[in-house]
Amino acid sequence: MLMCRDLAVVASDYIDGELSPGQRLSVKVHLMMCRHCRALVNNLRNSATVLQKHSSQQVNEDYFRRVKLNIAQALQDSRDKNS
């Protein structure tokens, strides 16, 4: 029988559909009976959404400029070497 802590351990796998059909069924049965675990699953699902929305990486323009300058220099060097 699945305890609440066991459910907490697999909650993300349940949310992402990574459980086997058998495990999935026992999680569903537990959730029908346990409002605390329902609250946990709902909140972790919200957390997953929040994490997804915040996953874009900002790079500052100054860094891009420096990288481009260095590449321009390296391209120039390799042209000089080949000519």
> How far apart, in whole angstroms, are the C-alpha atoms of residue 28 and residue 32?
6
Q: Which does 19 bind (CB under 5 to 8 A by kind): Zn ion, another protein, none?
A: none
Q: Residues in the chain, how many? A: 83
Q: Enter the tokens of residue 63.
A: 């860094």
Q: Enter the tokens of residue 73.
A: 């220099």
Q: Which does 32 bind (CB under 5 to 8 A by kind): Zn ion, another protein, none?
A: none
Q: How far is the CB of 45 from another protein (least distance, A)?
A: 8
3-state class (DSSP) for residue 34: coil
> How far apart, in whole angstroms, are the C-alpha atoms of residue 24 and residue 80?
63
Q: Does 40 bind Zn ion (CB under 5 A)?
A: no
> How far apart, in whole angstroms, are the C-alpha atoms of residue 49 and residue 34?
23
Q: Does 41 bind Zn ion (CB under 5 A)?
A: no
Question: Where on the chain is the footprint of another protein (CB under 8 A)?
Answer: 3-6, 8-9, 11-13, 16, 18, 35-40, 42-55, 57-59, 63-64, 66-68, 70-72, 74-75, 78-79
Question: Where on the chain is the footprint of Zn ion (CB under 5 A)?
Answer: 4, 34, 37
